[in-house]
């Protein structure tokens, strides 16, 4: 369970910084070179904290009514990762001095640390082996440990470690790429720098959002090394001088702790206490805890794909990254890039609910619940957003946000994506179906369902007996502001129905008090929800016998994707949006995704035709696309394709297939890779009718297996080419429909089913 990159490739540095970042859901530190930023080597030096943001203005060429004036953005924090090494006064600068004789980056996913190994010969001929280990503690989320080990191979002499802690940091910017911030702005202002003999503290405040951050450091120098601390207006330096003997391996340890005012009353005291505790506990204490926590994580979550080591490794990397990216509290969620980079500015999108949430729902209930509670916490802002968008009632979730305000600066592929509100409602309902946690629905879920249902009822209108929703954008951003997007209308239908189902269930159980009080929902309104849901217009093309992506899509000009030169992908970077909107071309799965999420809306042959049609016009320019095609290929029994799409999806970041992993990993795609097996190969669905499985297996794989939770039980599924073995590893008996045949598995029992082709 290790990701390993061999060889020194400075030009791939920024990519490696993302891939080997260390995070724990609260903080994330890119794997930037300890020796510091070097001119000419691509690098995005960054440290981030989930949901810790500043606010900056959004500028417009022409600002129309309701365009958000400001945007939240993740903040690059105090930089603690610079450690300069001097050997006999020669600085270790592998990119410009001496010679790199060996180089390896690795991420150990069992033990939870990243390592950088360099075998280096200095200009004067001293050879050292440097191993730097980094860990973001899963036990103490504020804590980051860095152990800098140096082994003298062919000399004895003086060495010096110099840690520099920089408070003067700014965010990365690239004006040419719409997917990252356009303007370099300083967001963090240092307010206080303090130190004692073994530790230091930098307190800062964000410029506009006025959030406090404390970054504390403490050090364990090698024995007999003298530590000398020095402070400046916005930085700290810690120097440790001493001698190394040939063959000796010395370790300089840095503990850093980050604490913020969104979670802590006194961030400075929290950060300082954390690094002081760390000095007392020592690294081994946190390493042990790290291992234990990960053992449990893997036990609950690990998906095995047999006999394809590369795939297995990619999949491990995906699940590990999801775990380390997922917020640990109700103020945070999972950013599009996790905590690994600044792409999409640390915003939360629908990625969470549709691509990532199912993983946590099936493996880690508390995190799943946190993710929903986060959405519940920003319901007031979603209501406000709905008002701005012209709806007198209901809640419209912001397309991209950190703490609830709409942060999209281009509404046609931003606020117009009304489907997000349905996606969130869908996640709430999935949670309920998987847990039967009616109390959570009474407290939070019902309110979200009712408010989002109201939104759709107001956004749509009746026309010739059908309920239509115009001028929205579906998941496919290559067709914006369309009428009756199938995905959106299907989601709206689902939301409207579920709002009714849950509210009525609460009424029956005498638990409806909160939802009545908070929403004032009436039975006539519920009736309206149902009518709109029942008569929801779902565009269908009689000739092609498929659902149309929207009213216009199938009439647009066709585009031969083969005729477009490879260097013109992703199209969004080479074609004006209008040109894209004018053609039958999709950035990602849209109708195909609807067929996955709302599979009972169409028969299998319609889905097959739809799959084939949309596959021919989808570029997969979005990282959220291929995994969905994989899932649906499985559903259609196209297992070669399913595997092919899954492979693309699972290896996307490691292969840097989209060329932008330097800006951060693609967490939605990672969730999608998980789903490609669990919902795809294994056909797992959680529906009102219960748990469903329909396992299939690609010819190229020997088998796959995974654990999951359902209601109060734990199950483990093992699939090979002959059978599917389902074992109940904990909890009471459960009912499962396998290939639509209902089976019961008793406590500690297992069953075997012959695999269908």
Query: The tokens 């701005």 sit on which residue?
Result: 388
Helix (H, G, I), strand (E, B) or coil at 521: coil
- Binds its own copies (CB under 8 A): choice among 247, 390, 520, 659: 390
Q: Tell me the per-residue interface mask from 202 to 221 with its own copies, x by CB under 8 A, - otherwise.
A: --------------------
Shortest reach from residue 68's CB to its own copies, in Å: 8
Q: Does 557 bind its own copies (CB under 8 A)?
A: yes
Sheet holding 750-754, edge to edge: 304-306, 703-710, 713-720, 723-730, 750-754
Do residues 153 and 130 make contact, with C-beta atoms less than 8 angstroms apart? no
Residues in 463-492 that interact with its own copies by CB under 8 A:
463, 468, 470-472, 480-481, 483
User: Which of 13, 71, 72, 381 lies at the binding interface for its own copies (CB under 8 A)?
Assistant: 71
CB of 593 to its own copies, least distance (A): 22
* 62 sits near its own copies (criterion: CB under 8 A): yes
Query: Cβ of 669: how many Cβ atoms within 10 Å?
Result: 28
The answer to whether 579 contacts its own copies (rule: CB under 8 A) is yes
Taking the complex as a whole, the smallest distance from the CB of residue 448 to its own copies amounts, in Å, to: 22
CA–CA gap between residue 564 and residue 626 (Å, rounded): 19
Query: What is the H or E stretch that residue 53 is in?
Result: strand 53-57
User: In the complex with its own copies, which residue's Cβ is closer, 60 or 540?
Assistant: 60
Residues 705 and 718: beta-carbon distance below 8 Å: yes
576 touches its own copies by CB under 8 A: yes
Q: How far apart are CA 306 and CA 241, in angstroms?
A: 50
Neighbour tally for 607: CB within 10 Å: 22
Contact criterion met (CB below 8 Å) for 488 and 547:
no
Selected from 173, 310, 573, 688, the binder of its own copies by CB under 8 A is 573
Min CB(485)–its own copies separation in Å: 13
Tokens of residue 274, six digits:
């954390």
Q: Which of 1, 38, 41, 58 binds its own copies (CB under 8 A)?
A: 58
Residues paired with 250 in a beta bridge? 150
Contacting residues for 534 by C-beta, under 8 A, at least 6 apart = none
Do 676 and 642 meet the contact criterion of CB atoms below 8 Å apart? Answer: yes
Rounded CA gap, 500 and 521, in Å?
Answer: 10
Q: Is 454 in the site for its own copies (CB under 8 A)?
A: no
Q: According to CB under 8 A, which one of 242, 577, 637, 731 is a site residue for its own copies?
A: 577
Question: Are the CB atoms for 629 and 593 separated by under 8 Å?
Answer: no
Two tokens, residue 445: 């879920």
269 three-class SS: helix
**Binding of its own copies at residue 572 (CB under 8 A)?**
yes
What letter would DSSP give residue 583?
A: B
Q: Which stretch binds its own copies (CB under 8 A): 10-18, 135-143, 262-270, 571-579?
A: 571-579
Tokens describing residue 174? 């690239």
> CB of 484: closest distance to its own copies in angstroms?
9
Collapsing DSSP to helix, strand or coil, 129 comes out as strand
Quote the least distance from Cβ 570 to its own copies, whole Å. 10
How many whole angstroms separate alpha carbon 7 and alpha carbon 10?
Answer: 9
Instruction: State the minimum distance, in angstroms, from the CB of residue 10 to its own copies.
Output: 30
Strands 79-87 and 304-306, how do they pair? unpaired
3-state helix, strand, coil in the chain (%, to 5): 35, 25, 40
459 binds its own copies (CB under 8 A): yes
Question: Among 100, 185, 289, 556, which residue sits at the site for its own copies (rule: CB under 8 A)?
Answer: 556
For residue 220, give both structure tokens. Answer: 């364990």
Output 309 or 464, the one with its CB closest to its own copies: 464
Contact range with its own copies by CB under 8 A, out of 53-61, 104-112, 312-320, 633-641: 53-61
The nearer residue to its own copies, 32 or 469, going by C-beta atoms, is 469
Per DSSP, the three-state class of 581 is helix
Per the document, the length of the chain is: 757
Q: Which of 81, 381, 408, 661 binds its own copies (CB under 8 A)?
A: 408
Report whether 93 contacts 270 (CB < 8 A): no
Please tell me whether residue 185 binds its own copies under the rule CB under 8 A. Answer: no
- From the list 477, 525, 615, 638, the catalytic residue is 477
User: Any contact of residue 532 with its own copies (CB under 8 A)?
Assistant: no
CA–CA gap between residue 317 and residue 43 (Å, rounded): 22
Please check whether residue 646 is in contact with residue 701, taking contact to mean a CB–CB distance below 8 angstroms: no
Q: How many Å apart are CA 452 and CA 383, to the nearest integer? A: 9
Q: What is the Cα–Cα distance from 577 to 45, expressed in whole angstroms?
A: 32
Choose which of 10, 68, 200, 346 interacts with its own copies (CB under 8 A): 68
- The distance of closest approach from Cβ of residue 561 to its own copies in the complex, given in angstroms and rounded to an integer, is 15
CA end-to-end distance (rounded Å), the chain: 31
Each residue 145-184 as x (binds its own copies by CB under 8 A) or -, in order, gives: ------------------------------x--x---x--
Choose among 396, 626, 589: nearest CA to 478: 589
Active-site residue, 477 included: yes
Q: Which two tokens stand for residue 11?
A: 């030009």
Of 650, 745, 733, 637, nearest to 303 (Cα)? 650
412 near its own copies (CB under 8 A): yes
Find the shortest distance in angstroms from Cβ 378 to its own copies: 19
- The DSSP result for 60-82, as a single string, is -SSPPTT--SEEEEE----EEEE
Among 66, 231, 242, 731, binds its own copies (CB under 8 A): 66
Whichever of 279 and 556 has its CB closer to its own copies, that residue is 556
Question: Site for its own copies (CB under 8 A): how many residues?
Answer: 52
567 touching its own copies, by CB under 8 A:
no
Judged by CB under 8 A, does residue 414 bind its own copies?
yes
Q: Of 47-55, 107-115, 382-390, 446-454, which part binds its own copies (CB under 8 A)? A: 382-390
Q: Does 64 bind its own copies (CB under 8 A)?
A: yes
The CB-of-225 to its own copies minimum distance in angstroms stands at 50
What's the closest the beta carbon of residue 460 comes to its own copies, in angstroms?
8
Task: Say whether residue 690 binds its own copies (CB under 8 A).
Answer: no
User: According to CB under 8 A, which one of 4, 60, 605, 756 is a site residue for its own copies?
Assistant: 60
Nearer residue to its own copies within complex by CB, 472 or 717: 472
Q: Is 389 in the site for its own copies (CB under 8 A)?
A: yes
Site string for its own copies, 246-275 (x = CB under 8 A): ------------------------------
Among 11, 39, 40, 61, binds its own copies (CB under 8 A): 61
Binding mask 495-514 for its own copies (x = CB under 8 A): --------------------
Q: Cis bond leading into 44, ω under 30°? A: no
Q: Return the SS3 of 451.
A: helix
461 lies in the binding site for its own copies (CB under 8 A): yes
Residue number with CB closer to its own copies (231 or 409): 409
Interface with its own copies includes 309 (CB under 8 A)?
A: no
Q: Out of 86, 117, 155, 410, which residue is the one contacting its own copies (CB under 8 A)?
A: 410
Residue 415 tokens read as 């606020």
Using CB under 8 A as the binding rule, whether residue 581 contacts its own copies is answered as yes
Q: Is position 538 an interface residue for its own copies (rule: CB under 8 A)?
A: no
For its own copies, the binding residue among 104, 110, 291, 582 (CB under 8 A) is 582
E-strand spans in 122-247?
127-136, 143-152, 157-166, 188-195, 199-206, 212-220, 226-231, 235-244
Q: Cα(396)–Cα(420) distance, rounded to whole angstroms?
A: 8
Please give the positions annotated as active site. Answer: 477
Contact residues: its own copies, CB under 8 A = 58-68, 71, 175, 178, 182, 388-390, 408-412, 414-416, 459, 461, 463, 468, 470-472, 480-481, 483, 551-552, 555-558, 572-579, 581-582
């Amino acid at each position: 369970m290790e990701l390993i990159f061999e060889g020194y490739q400075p030009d791939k540095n920024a990519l490696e910084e993302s891939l080997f970042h260390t995070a724990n859901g609260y903080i994330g530190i890119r794997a930037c070179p300890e020796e510091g930023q070097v001119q000419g080597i691509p690098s995005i030096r960054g440290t981030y904290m989930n949901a810790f943001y500043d606010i900056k203005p959004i500028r417009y060429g022409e600002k129309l009514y309701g365009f958000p004036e400001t945007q939240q953005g993740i903040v690059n924090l105090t930089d603690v990762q610079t450690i300069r090494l001097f050997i006999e006064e020669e600085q270790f600068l592998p990119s410009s001095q001496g010679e790199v004789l060996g180089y390896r980056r690795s991420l150990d996913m069992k033990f939870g640390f990243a390592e950088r190994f360099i075998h280096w010969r200095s200009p004067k001929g001293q050879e050292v082996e440097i191993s730097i280990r980094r860990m973001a503690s899963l036990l103490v989320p504020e804590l980051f440990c860095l152990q800098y080990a140096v082994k003298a191979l062919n000399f004895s002499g003086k060495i010096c470690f110099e840690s520099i802690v920089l408070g003067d940091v700014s965010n990365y910017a690239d004006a040419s790429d719409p997917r990252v911030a356009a303007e370099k702005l300083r967001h963090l202002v240092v307010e206080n720098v303090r130190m004692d003999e073994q530790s230091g503290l930098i307190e800062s405040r964000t410029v506009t959002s006025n959030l406090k951050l404390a970054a504390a450091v403490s050090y364990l120098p090698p024995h007999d090394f003298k530590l000398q601390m020095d402070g400046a207006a916005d930085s700290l330096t810690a120097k440790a001088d001493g001698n190394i003997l040939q063959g000796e391996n010395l370790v300089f340890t840095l503990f850093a702790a980050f604490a913020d005012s969104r979670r802590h009353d006194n961030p400075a005291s929290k950060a300082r206490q954390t690094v002081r505790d760390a000095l007392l506990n020592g690294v081994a204490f946190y390493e042990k805890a790290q291992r234990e926590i990960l053992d449990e994580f893997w036990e609950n979550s690990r998906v095995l794909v047999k006999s394809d080591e590369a795939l297995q490794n990619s999949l491990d990397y995906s699940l590990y990254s999801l775990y380390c990216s997922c917020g640990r509290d109700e103020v945070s969620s999972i950013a599009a890039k996790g905590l690994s980079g600044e792409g999409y500015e640390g915003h939360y999108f629908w990625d969470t609910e549709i691509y990532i949430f199912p993983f946590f729902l099936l493996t880690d209930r508390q995190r799943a619940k946190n993710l929903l509670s986060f959405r519940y916490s920003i319901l007031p802002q979603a209501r406000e957003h709905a008002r701005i968008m012209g709806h007198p009632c209901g809640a419209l979730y912001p397309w991209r946000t950190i703490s609830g305000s709409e942060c999209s600066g281009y509404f046609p592929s931003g606020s117009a994506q009304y489907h997000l509100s349905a996606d969130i409602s869908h996640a709430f309902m999935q949670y309920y179906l998987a847990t039967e946690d009616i109390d959570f629905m009474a407290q939070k879920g019902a309110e979200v369902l009712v408010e989002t249902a109201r939104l759709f009822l107001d956004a749509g209108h009746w026309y010739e007996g059908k309920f239509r929703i115009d001028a929205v954008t579906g998941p496919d951003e290559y067709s914006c502001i369309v009428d009756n997007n199938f995905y959106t209308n299907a989601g709206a239908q689902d939301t409207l129905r579920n709002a009714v189902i849950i509210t009525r269930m609460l009424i029956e159980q005498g638990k409806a008090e909160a939802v009545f009080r908070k929403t004032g929902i009436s039975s006539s309104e519920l009736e309206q929800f149902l009518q709109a849901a029942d008569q929801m217009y779902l565009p269908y093309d009689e000739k092609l016998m498929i659902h149309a992506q929207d009213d216009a899509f199938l009439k647009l000009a066709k585009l031969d994707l083969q005729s477009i030169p490879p260097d013109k992908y992703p199209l969004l970077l080479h074609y004006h949006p209008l040109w894209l909107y004018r053609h039958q071309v999709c950035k990602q799965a849209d109708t195909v995704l609807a067929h996955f999420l709302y599979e009972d809306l169409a028969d299998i042959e319609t889905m097959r035709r739809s799959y084939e049609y949309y596959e021919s016009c989808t570029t997969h320019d979005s990282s959220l696309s291929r995994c969905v095609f994989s899932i649906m290929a499985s559903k259609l029994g196209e297992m070669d394709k399913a595997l092919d799409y899954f492979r693309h999806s699972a290896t996307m970041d490691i292969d840097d297939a989209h060329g932008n992993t330097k800006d951060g990993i693609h967490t939605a795609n990672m969730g999608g890779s998980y789903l490609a097996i669990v919902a795809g190969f294994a056909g797992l669905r959680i529906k009102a009718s219960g748990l469903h499985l329909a396992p299939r297996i690609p010819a190229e794989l020997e088998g796959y297996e995974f654990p999951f939770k359902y209601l109060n039980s734990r199950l483990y599924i093992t699939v090979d080419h002959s059978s599917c073995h389902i074992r109940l590893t904990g909890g009471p008996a459960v009912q499962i429909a396998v290939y639509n045949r209902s089976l019961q598995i008793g406590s500690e029992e297992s069953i075997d089913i012959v695999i269908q082709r």
